[in-house]
Amino acid sequence: MGAQCPECYQERKEAERREEEEADTLLPPRRPPASRWITAVPAYGRDYENAEGAFADWVAGKDFRLCDISMGPNDGRYCSRRDFERGSLAGATIKVRYKRLENIVLLRWLEEINNWVIVGRVDEDNL
Torsion of CA 105, 109, 110, 111, to 10 degrees: 180
Give the three-state DSSP class for 38.
strand
pLDDT greater than 70 at residue 21: no
Average model confidence (pLDDT) across the chain: 81
Q: What pLDDT digit, counting tens, does each position of 93-107 carry? A: 899 999 999 999 999
Between β-strands 78-79 and 64-66, what pairing exists: parallel, antiparallel or unpaired? antiparallel
The mean pLDDT of 43-50, rounded to a whole number, is 95
In this prediction the pTM is 0.68
pLDDT at 26 over 50: no
